[in-house]
Amino acid sequence: MLEFMKKNKLEVENKYLAFGREFLKILYLQNVQLEYPDVND
């Protein structure tokens, strides 16, 4: 049971880390667009 909880905790942490990276990327891209509104994709 403890091993299962450890594994589960790791997976949850990985999901949060991935979500955090995506969130930071979106914030970064929004900031870049605000600073350089003339630049198009």
Half-sphere exposure of 39 (CA within 13 A, CB side): 9
Selection from 14, 12, 20, 18 nearest residue 4 by Cα: 12
Q: Which domain holds residue 6?
A: 1-30
Answer yes or no: is 38 within a domain.
Answer: no
Answer yes or no: is 17 within a domain.
Answer: yes
pTM: 0.52
Selection from 3, 24, 5, 1 nearest residue 13 by Cα: 5
Selection from 16, 18, 41, 17 nearest residue 29 by Cα: 41
Answer yes or no: is 16 within a domain.
Answer: yes
Structure tokens at 23: 């969130």
Report pLDDT for 19.
94
Answer yes or no: is 37 within a domain.
Answer: no
Answer yes or no: is 4 within a domain.
Answer: yes
Give the three-state DSSP class for 39. Answer: coil
Answer yes or no: is 39 within a domain.
Answer: no
Q: Give the pLDDT confidence of 5-37 residue by residue, as tens digits.
A: 788 899 999 999 999 999 999 999 888 877 776
Please tell me the total count of domains within the chain: 1
